């Protein structure tokens, strides 16, 4: 069953990318699809959290840093998976991704705390939303290389 979902996602990506094929060999393609699948899961959870913040309580804002840090780390994983020339090699890639996650998490937690203190929830959500759009653009740009 998981094999069918990977083939289905692969067909959708081929149509959306326009070039007719994804970069890399079959292992890189499968790893790329797994990264994109996890990115879409994190993005859908983030949308639910955004809606909870707007509809229910601004205290849900403390989940956003964790989700955005995971999303940005997955965005940085795409060149690593595709073995880009300037990406970290497979020996230091886990450390690189963990550092990206931790630094992004710390920056987002501090900014979430500041936005809660000054009651600027909507501005914080807007800035994180723009950052999500930037990460999605970078993801597709890295795949099209």
The pLDDT tens digits for 73-111 are 999 999 998 888 888 888 899 999 999 999 999 999 999
Decide: 143 and 78 in contact? Cβ < 8 Å.
yes
d(CA 25, CA 13): 15
Tell me the H-state helices in 56-120: 64-81, 93-117
Q: What mean pLDDT comes out for the span 121-126?
A: 88
What share of the chain in percent tops pLDDT 70?
85
pTM for this prediction: 0.81
Look at residue 72 in the predicted model and tell me its pLDDT.
Answer: 93
Average pLDDT of the chain is 85
Percent of the chain with pLDDT strictly greater than 90: 38
pLDDT of residue 1: 40
Q: In the predicted model, is pLDDT for residue 24 greater than 80? A: no
Task: Give the residue, 13 or 119, on which the prediction is more confident.
Answer: 119
């Amino acid at each position: 069953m998981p094999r069918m979902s990977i083939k289905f996602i692969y067909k959708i990506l081929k149509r959306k990318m326009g070039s007719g094929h994804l970069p890399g060999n079959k292992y890189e393609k499968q790893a790329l699809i797994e990264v994109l699948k996890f990115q879409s899961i994190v993005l859908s959870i983030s949308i639910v959290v955004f809606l909870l913040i707007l509809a229910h309580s601004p205290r849900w804002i403390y989940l956003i840093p964790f989700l955005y840090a995971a999303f940005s780390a997955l965005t940085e994983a795409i060149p690593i998976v595709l073995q880009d020339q300037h990406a970290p090699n497979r020996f230091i890639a886990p450390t690189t991704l963990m550092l990206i996650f931790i630094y992004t998490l710390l920056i987002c937690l501090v900014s979430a705390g500041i936005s809660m203190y000054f009651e600027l929830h909507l501005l914080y959500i807007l800035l994180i939303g723009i950052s999500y759009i930037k990460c999605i653009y970078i993801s597709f740009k890295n795949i099209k290389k």
